[in-house]
Amino acid sequence: MNYNYLIFKMKVVSIVEKSFIIKPMLDEIYPVIDYGKGVYLFDMEGKKYLDAASGAVTANIGHGVKEIMEAMLHQAKKVSFVYRSQFTSEAAEKLAEKIAALIPGELNWSFFVNSGSEATETAMKMAIQYWQEKGVQTKTKIISRWVSYHGITMGALSMSGHPGRRARFVPLLEDFPAINPPYCYRCPYNLEAPSCNYLCAQELETTIKRIGAEQIAAFIAEPVIGAAGGAITPPKDYFKQIKKICDDHDILFIADEVMTGFGRTGTMLACEQWGVVPDIVAFGKGMGAGFVPIAAAVASDKIMEPILAGSKSVMSGHTLSANPQSCAVSLAVLEYLEKNEILKEVESKGVYLKNQLEKLTSQFPFMGDVRGKGLLLGIELVADRGTKTPFLRTLSVIPKMIALAKEKGLLIYPAGAGLDGVNGDSFIIAPPLTITKREMEELVYLLKDTFTAFSKEISAGTEGDH
C-alpha cells in the first residue's frame, strides 16, 4: 500500500466517521461519492453503482454531462446571482420561453423556485390568488388524494396524502387529502377498469359537493404517483374524467409533475399521455436534472389574466428564485433533451425494461405488481401474491431491499404502497433517460441478483415467525 493511498484512505474514513451532517439515518454510514459518469456513480473506495433511480428520479440525463458543465462555466463567468426584484436575466428569460414552447396549451408563465416542494406550494398559492383576483374570496381549499406526495414544506405537506411524512405535524396541517388514488392493483372498490366507471375519479365530484365548490380553489394530483405509491399509473380515461369534474365545478387542476415532468414518461408533460392540459403545473427534479436546484410553477394564460389585470404580482418567491446560474443550467438540460432527441426512445426503453422486470415474476413470488409508464417503473412487494398480503412492518423489507441492491452496486428508490399508505412496500426503478439497452440488461441482472439475496434473507427472517 503506497503512502498516497494511505492518506486517501484516512481522508475517507474521517469523512465517514466524523460528520456533523444531519443525514437521513443518523446511525448509518454512507459511502462518500467521488464522481459520476452517465448512468454510473463511483464512490471514494472505487465502488461502482448503476444509478437505476437517477438519485431521486432526478438525474434524467445522467451524470457528468459535458455540455451542462460548459453551460455552468459560461454562466458563472458572467454572473451567478441577481435578485429577481432588481434584475431579470437572459438565462431566465430564455428558460421561460423554452418551457412555454415545450409544453402544451397556454401554459406560458413560469414562476421559478428551487425545489419541488416550493413549486407545488407556489402552484397552490397561485390557484388561491387567481380566485381572489376574480373577486371570489372563499375558494381557498385544495383537494388532493391519499397515497400522494407533494413536498415537505407545510403547505405542500398539507396537500400530501402520505401518513408517514404527515404524522409528526398533523395538528399544523390542513386535511387536504380527501379521495382515493387510481390504485388498480388494490382497487378500493374491488373493480377493474374500465368497467369500474372510474369510481375513484367520481369520488372527486362527491367530495366537491360535500365541501362546496365555492370553498375549493384547486385539485392537485401526480400523473404517476411516485414516492407514496411506487409508480401507481392511472387507467386510460381517469384524468379526462378528473379534468371534466374540475371544469364542471369551476375548480382548477394542478398537475404535480415534479417527478414526471420533462420526459420521464416519454412526453414533456406526463399529463399529455392522458390527453389533458392542466391549469397550473409544478416542475422540479428533471428540470435541473440534478445539476442545480431549480423548480417552477407554470401557469396558463387563463390563470395570469386576472392577476395581470389586478394586483400584478404573484404572492410567492424565494431569494434564489430565477437566479441566472440555475436557469442557464436548466436551459442547457432542456436543450440537451431536444438536441439529442432523448424523449423519442423513452417509451420503447420503458416497455423493454418493464417486460424484463415482468419476466422476473415467475422466479420471485414476492413481486406483487410491476407498473409504471415510460422510465418511471415500480415494483410492489407482497408476502403472498395470491392474497396480495403485504409483508409485516417489522420485517422492514424496503430498507433491506435497498441495502442489498446497494451492496450489489445498484441504486433503487424506496416508495410506499398500500391503500392506507402504511401497510405496503414498493420501490421505483427510474434510470437516467439516456440509459442504453446494454445498461438496462446490467440493471436487470443486478436486480435479479438482489432479489435472490432478498429471498434468502426473507426466508431466514420469517422462519422464526412460524
Ligand X SMILES: Cc1ncc(COP(=O)(O)O)c(C=O)c1O
Using CB under 6 A, list all residues that contact ligand X: 56, 115-117, 120, 149-152, 222, 226-227, 256, 258-259, 284
**Of 75 and 115, CB closest to ligand X:** 115
Tell me the C-alpha distance between 38 and 61, whole Å: 8
Calpha distance 110→376 (Å, rounded): 25
Q: Nearer Cβ to ligand X, position 226 or 368? A: 226
C-beta of 219 vs 391, nearer to ligand X: 219
Between 279 and 442, CB nearer to ligand X: 279
Nearer to ligand X, 196 or 261 (CB): 261
Return the SS3 of 116. helix
DSSP 338-374: HHTTGGGGHHHHHHHHHHHHHHGGGT-TTEEEEEEET
Give SS3 for 121: helix
Report, in Å, the least distance between residue 435 CB and ligand X. 20
Q: How far is the CB of 285 from ligand X (least distance, A)?
A: 6
> Phi and psi of 22, rounded to 5°?
-80, 95
Residue 212 C-beta: closest distance to ligand X, Å: 27
Reading the block at residue 39, the C-alpha cell is 448512468
325: left (phi over 0), alpha (psi -120 to 50) or beta: alpha
- Scan for cell 392522458, then name that residue: 274
Asked whether 166 and 173 are in contact (CB, 8 A), the reply is yes
Of 52 and 367, which has the nearer Cβ to ligand X? 52
For residue 48, CA distances in Å to 6, 10, 26, 53, 265 come to 21, 20, 24, 14, 27
- Taking the least distance from each CB to ligand X, the nearer of 92 and 227 is 227
Residue nearest to ligand X (CB): 116
First to last CA, the chain: 50
The least distance separating ligand X from the CB of residue 227, rounded to whole angstroms, comes to 5
Min. distance of Cβ 433 from ligand X in angstroms?
Answer: 16
> CB of 394: closest distance to ligand X in angstroms?
26
Q: What is the nearest approach in angstroms of ligand X to the Cβ of residue 295? A: 6
